[in-house]
Chain A
């Protein structure tokens, strides 16, 4: 199993550009989520999904969209990039949304918005 994969690993955008961060998992997990990690701060939840066709907002959803058309894939879209979205983005998956289910994290995407 590849686990949780994310692409790209690095990305530089100009303010106002849009892009999609890709996330895929091959563990047949129902629950998937996106976090951002900023210097000196803990991970913050952006959006999550409890299964295909179901998504919901987390703590910091503004400026981001998600969709979940398949169990495997959970892309994160930046609609109009802003410097405040410069961060490291992690996708995670777990068997279900039970908090005791281990979350498996991808390797991250480092995004810089100029």
Chain B
């Protein structure tokens, strides 16, 4: 919902441009990662995942990059559309442990 996003960093991009959303994770034992999209007033929705044995994974208009050296994930959205406006957050999942969710970044697509 809107109140969840009030304290989040915001990325504003022009419609049609590419978006890059970043996420730093904390646990070097994390070997599985997920990106979620959360539209206003809705629950989170799975976008794409990546295992630590990969550096890059592509989906439809989305690409996730993983840099294990600096414990950093990024989500790239190609040709950003108005429907992409949402909060995006990552989750790190060490084997046998619970998900750890990041606070997220609000993506605002400008017409």
Q: What residues of chain A have their CB less than 8 Å away from a CB belonging to chain B? A: 4, 37-45, 58-59, 88, 90, 92, 99-100, 102-103, 105-108, 110
Contacts and interface: CB of A to CB of B under 8 A. Distances in A.
A42 B1 contact: no
B42 interface: yes
Interface residues of B, number: 26
Contacts, number: 55
A58 B43 contact: no
Given A42-B103, A42-B104, A99-B93, 11 more contacts: A39-B7, A40-B7, A40-B8, A41-B103, A42-B89, A42-B100, A58-B98, A59-B98, A105-B44, A108-B41, A108-B42
Interface in B53-79: none
Given A40-B103, A45-B98, A45-B99, A105 B4 contact: no
B84 interface: no
A56 B63 CA distance: 35
B61 to A, nearest CB: 19
Contacts of B95: 99
A100 B42 contact: no
A39 B4 contact: yes
B45 interface: yes
Contacts of B101: 42-44
B46 A107 contact: no
A92 B44 CA distance: 9
A107 B45 CA distance: 10
A108 B43 contact: yes
5 smallest beta-carbon distances between A and B, as pairs? A105-B43, A42-B101, A40-B7, A43-B101, A99-B93
Given A42-B89, A110-B1, A4 B103 contact: no
